[in-house]
């Protein structure tokens, strides 16, 4: 019997003879007792945080929003312990990119009451022109607009979770700035680079999306004074942490991520059953589709992928919704990206790309008519579905917190 996270609960899967539990490589990673505090005490490429803050009066800490599973409370708590009353003002900014601002209850869940009592809180708004400052263009011709509050702070600290990303290769690090604190025009231009052949999950070499993000982060005034990033598993347990210079921290953790988040396989499964990861990873379809990308290399062409994602907040993005309605096939989605890219449309492109190769079943709270109209097959429960999973070799991945990669 396997429990698969689904929203804030779990669905039970009774294993059959043709089913095989697929475990990620994270369990092989040696973990320290308190990796976050240890990382803060021993930064790479910078002075210790206490020294950096000497004589300064205000500080901003950039954190992930409600769509990420980052252990932000632990990270910010450890930073505040280190700062220890050295600042007159500490502000936490949610790096929302183009996402909505987190609600009060979500902020409470992310930070906790104690932290909320001692810091000021702000959510980035990519459309708030008054709170955006233009810096310059990257070599990829991306006009860089960054959050004014962040730029004007004496001390800039970013936090984040190094994870796999569709087309930036890996999340975390520089993504706290672009897209996290960037203007919509900046994000739109950066994301339009995703059609490049080197812009794919797990790759940074020659990846224009990643390189563009790094250029933006290195612009005068944008580079943080201190970075704290971690790698976590599906239970929000920290596998590794590093602090100090943004670039060095990112490079160090990506090396670990390639060992802990990527599972190399020689053979295909006939079919795969995968969970998006439960709340908040499956809060909407926009977030949940990442699970399909994580496992697609592990299933044979024309094989079935079963996605378990509650999607309690529905689709999650109006543009994603519109593109799925209007782009009925992969070619139409690709042509639209080339001609008139919009944030959210990229998710339609990737979903169409997977559906072009595999049959996708979806267990969710979404309307069945919508799911069918988009080309997926809705199912109300695992029991309704199991008889249709006829492959001799079926992979079961309860939480898509690692990527399958073909050798």
Same domain, 121 and 144: yes
Range of the domain at 388: 2-23+263-406
Can you give the CATH number for the domain in which 108 is found?
A: 3.40.50.11440
Boundary (domain end) residue, out of 240, 260, 280: 260
Among 46, 24, 26, 29, which Cα is nearest to 242's?
Answer: 46
Among 131, 232, 194, which Cα is nearest to 336's?
Answer: 194
Over 237-275, what HEC string results? CEEEEEEECHHHHHHHHHHHHHHHCEEEECCCEEEEEEE
Same domain, 246 and 275: no
Among 319, 238, 305, which Cα is nearest to 276's?
Answer: 305
Query: Computed from CA positions of residues 42, 45, 49, 54, in that sequence, does the dihedral angle turn out positive or negative?
Result: positive
Residues 6+ apart with CB under 8 A from 224: 62, 156, 157, 158, 176, 177, 217, 246
Same domain, 232 and 328: no
Same domain, 59 and 180: yes
For the beta carbon of residue 219, count every other beta carbon within 10 angstroms. Answer: 17
- Distance CA(172)–CA(184), nearest Å, equals 19
Same domain, 53 and 16: no
Same domain, 225 and 277: no
- Distance CA(124)–CA(127), nearest Å, equals 9
In a domain, 337, yes or no: yes
Q: For 210-251, write each residue's pLDDT tens digit.
A: 999 999 999 999 999 999 999 987 667 898 999 999 999 999
- DSSP H/E element including 144: strand 143-147
Q: For 283-320, write each residue's pLDDT tens digit.
A: 999 999 999 999 999 999 999 999 999 999 999 999 99
Same domain, 241 and 288: no
In a domain, 97, yes or no: yes
Q: Band the pLDDT of 86: cuts 50, 70, 90.
A: confident
Boundary (domain end) residue, out of 245, 260, 275: 260
Same domain, 381 and 307: yes
Segment 396-403 mean pLDDT: 92
> How many domains does the chain divide into?
2
pLDDT at 105: 94
In a domain, 28, yes or no: no
Same domain, 69 and 209: yes
In a domain, 223, yes or no: yes
Residue 80, token pair as written in the block = 């505040």
pTM: 0.86
pLDDT at 29: 63
Boundary (domain end) residue, out of 235, 260, 285: 260
Same domain, 202 and 327: no
Can you give the CATH number for the domain in which 372 is found?
A: 3.90.226.30
Residue 50, token pair as written in the block = 């206490």
pLDDT at 30: 63
Residue 367, token pair as written in the block = 């309307």
pLDDT > 70 in the chain, percent: 98
């Amino acid at each position: 019997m396997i429990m698969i996270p689904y929203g804030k609960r779990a669905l039970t899967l009774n294993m059959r003879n043709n089913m095989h539990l697929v475990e990620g490589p994270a369990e092989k990673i040696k973990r320290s007792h308190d990796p976050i505090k240890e990382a803060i005490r021993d930064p790479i490429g910078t002075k210790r945080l206490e020294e950096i803050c000497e004589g300064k009066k205000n500080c901003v800490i950039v954190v992930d929003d409600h769509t990420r599973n980052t252990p932000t409370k632990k990270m910010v708590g450890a930073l505040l312990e280190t700062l220890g009353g050295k600042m007159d003002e500490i502000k936490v900014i949610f790096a929302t990119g183009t996402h909505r601002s987190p609600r009060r209850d979500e902020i409470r869940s992310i930070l906790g009451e104690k932290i909320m009592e001692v810091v000021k809180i702000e959510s980035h708004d990519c459309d708030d022109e008054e709170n955006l400052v233009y810096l310059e263009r990257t070599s990829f011709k991306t006009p860089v607009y960054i959050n004014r509050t962040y730029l004007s702070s004496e001390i800039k600290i970013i936090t984040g979770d190094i994870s796999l990303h569709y087309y930036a290769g890996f999340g975390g690090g520089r993504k706290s700035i672009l897209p996290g604190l960037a203007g919509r025009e900046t994000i739109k231009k950066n994301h339009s680079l995703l059609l490049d052949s080197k812009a794919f999950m797990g790759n940074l070499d020659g990846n224009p999306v990643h390189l563009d993000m790094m250029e933006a982060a290195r612009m005068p005034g944008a580079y943080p004074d201190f970075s704290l990033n971690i790698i976590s598993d599906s239970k929000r347990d920290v596998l590794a942490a590093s602090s100090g210079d943004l670039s060095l921290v990112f490079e160090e953790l990506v090396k670990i991520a390639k060992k802990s988040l990527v599972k190399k396989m020689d053979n295909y499964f006939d079919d795969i059953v995968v969970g998006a990861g439960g709340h908040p990873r499956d809060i909407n379809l926009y977030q949940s589709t990442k699970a399909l990308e994580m496992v697609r290399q592990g299933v044979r062409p024309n094989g079935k992928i079963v996605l378990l994602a509650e999607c309690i907040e529905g689709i999650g993005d109006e543009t994603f919704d519109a593109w799925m309605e209007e782009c009925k096939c992969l070619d139409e989605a690709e042509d639209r990206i080339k001609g008139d890219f919009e944030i959210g449309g990229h998710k339609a492109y990737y979903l169409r790309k997977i559906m072009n190769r595999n049959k996708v079943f979806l267990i969710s709270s979404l309307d069945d008519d919508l799911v069918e109209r988009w080309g997926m097959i809705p199912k109300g429960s695992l029991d309704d579905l199991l008889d249709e999973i006829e492959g001799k070799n079926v992979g079961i991945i309860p939480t898509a917190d690692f990527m399958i990669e073909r050798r």
